[in-house]
Amino acid sequence: MDKLLSEYSRYEPYLRKALTRFLADHGYQIGKSKHFLLAIYNLPQINKIRDLKTGSLGRMMSIQGTVTRTTEVKPELLIGNFLCHVCNAEVGPVEQQYKYTTPIRCTN
């Protein structure tokens, strides 16, 4: 559990794939457009919002606090498919890691 908490961003894609396989094995109809996320509850330590620092990036944390102001929700790109400008082939899926990432080269 300690490895999962400290390196969550590393294990998260594998957890998502395992969840998708688990649902498929138990008869859930999964289409290509379906995307599942995993939620984990009751983590051992609860942090305050003011405890969030850049050293916490990529770690899984449980946060407690009061929301006093909100802003518009902006979508996050997790996996992208791209179109090659030379041969018009679809390249992907390309996993995005905290920034917009394009493929290095076409698969053709």
Domain count, the chain: 2
Residues contacting residue 103 through CB under 8 Å, at least 6 positions apart: 82, 91, 92, 94
3-state secondary structure of 106: coil
Asked if 6 and 39 sit in the same domain, the reply is yes
Say how far residue 105 (Cα) sits from the centre of its chain: 24
Mean pLDDT of 37-58: 83
* Pairing mode, strands 79-83 and 90-95: antiparallel
Tokens read off for 19: 């969840």
Per-residue pLDDT of 1-32, as tens digits, reads 778 888 888 888 898 889 988 988 998 887 77
What's the sign of the alpha-carbon dihedral 58, 61, 65, 69?
positive
Asked if 34 and 66 sit in the same domain, the reply is yes
Q: Which domain holds residue 20?
A: 2-70
Q: Tell me the pTM.
A: 0.50
Query: What was the pLDDT predicted at 51?
Result: 82
